[in-house]
Amino acid sequence: MEVYAAKPAHRLSLRQLLFFGRQMDETRIIKSANYVRTELPVRIAHRIRDLQSLPYVVVKQEWVAKVYELYWSAFEKLRKYPEIHTQEDNRQFCKFLRTILNEQYASFSPDPSFIQWFNQCPVIPWISLGLSLSSHHLVPEQLDAFMRRMLVSRISRRVLAEHHLALTDGLARQDTSPQRAQVGIIHTALDVKSSVQRCVSLLQERPQGSDANFEALSEVPPRGSSVKPDYRWPEVVLDGDLDTKFAYIKEHFEYIVFEILKNVS
């Protein structure tokens, strides 16, 4: 673990992921697989080292210990995975990645909504609960910095894994046109107006002032249901260039917009 923790993470921007994925072929998908195979254990090792740097009494807290064990298990499995050389190797690697994701998420869907995306992961609720119960052992600034690194790193690792899975699926379907609407998990021309309207619609269907967790959203009666809310959210007016489109991960964008709208309403 020390060897991996000492290595720097090789970060890629959304633009780099998009550029590399546009012209996908069998050679590139093997390169992508080996990048994910070597990069994930390095990033997980950094988080294990972060956990080890916490006071012992914090790491032994039940929920923090669960996260530590989950991370260590994933690290060992990824570290030992052999190099990928063929398309069959990559197919087996994708099965392996999905297994890892299944272990770290409450449920797994290859195309989750942004609501499910937040709910699927038990690690963040576990670590949040564990740290809240032992927060008196930590300086607030240290706690904030630790959680920020955990969140950012977790999102980035999920992006790498799911992007590779999506690229592999696209190559299998021979969906490799440079002009396609989606490259991996990145929407090349995300319709901002449509995404904002979707977030507004979801917001207006949930009880105002209710507990701000995404499970509440999944329980909202569908549109057209006989169950009618007795509240009114503020009207949201879209202004500016309503035809704006840009490359982004749709689930991430909608999560951000939903949270902004919820917090200002």
Q: Are residues 193 and 141 in the same domain?
A: no
The answer to whether 72 and 12 have CB atoms below 8 angstroms apart is: no
Domain extent, residue 107, equals 2-177
Does 74 have pLDDT greater than 50? yes
Q: Residue 182: count other Cβ atoms within 10 Å of its Cβ.
A: 16
In a domain, 218, yes or no: yes
Lookup: tokens for 253: 């964008």
Sign of the dihedral defined by the CA atoms of residues 215, 132, 101, 201, in that order: positive
Q: How does pLDDT run across 97-149, given as a tens digit for each residue? A: 999 887 765 433 334 444 454 445 578 888 888 888 988 898 999 889 999 99
Of the residues 177, 200, 223, which one is the last residue of a structural domain?
177
**Nearest C-alpha neighbor of 230 from the set 261, 207, 201, 202:** 207
Of the residues 177, 206, 227, which one is the last residue of a structural domain?
177
d(CA 253, CA 219) in angstroms, rounded, equals 22
Lookup: tokens for 25: 């072929």
In a domain, 115, yes or no: yes
Q: How confident is the model at residue 39 (pLDDT cuts 50, 70, 90)?
A: very high
Q: Are residues 199 and 164 in the same domain?
A: no
Of the residues 177, 206, 236, which one is the last residue of a structural domain?
177
Q: Are residues 130 and 249 in the same domain?
A: no
pTM higher than the cut 0.85: no
In a domain, 76, yes or no: yes
Does 225 have pLDDT greater than 60? no
Q: Are residues 45 and 116 in the same domain?
A: yes
The number of folded domains in the chain is 2
Does 242 have pLDDT greater than 70? yes
Lookup: tokens for 215: 């499970």
User: Taking residues 172-176, what's their average pLDDT?
Assistant: 83
Q: Is 94 left (phi over 0), alpha (psi -120 to 50) or beta?
A: alpha
Does 214 have pLDDT greater than 50? no
CA dihedral 51, 55, 59, 63 (to 10 degrees): -100
In a domain, 99, yes or no: yes
User: What integer pLDDT is reported at residue 117 of this predicted model?
Assistant: 43
Tell me which DSSP letter residue 135 carries.
G
User: Taking residues 209-237, what's their average pLDDT?
Assistant: 55
Alpha helices in the chain (DSSP H): 2-5, 14-22, 26-52, 56-59, 62-79, 87-104, 114-119, 123-133, 140-172, 192-204, 214-218, 250-264
Q: Are residues 125 and 24 in the same domain?
A: yes
In a domain, 136, yes or no: yes
Residues whose CB is less than 8 angstroms from the CB of residue 265 and which lie 6 or more positions away in sequence, other chains included? 203, 208, 233, 234
Domain of 86: which CATH number? 1.20.140.20
Does 213 have pLDDT greater than 60? no
In a domain, 239, yes or no: yes
Q: Are residues 96 and 164 in the same domain?
A: yes
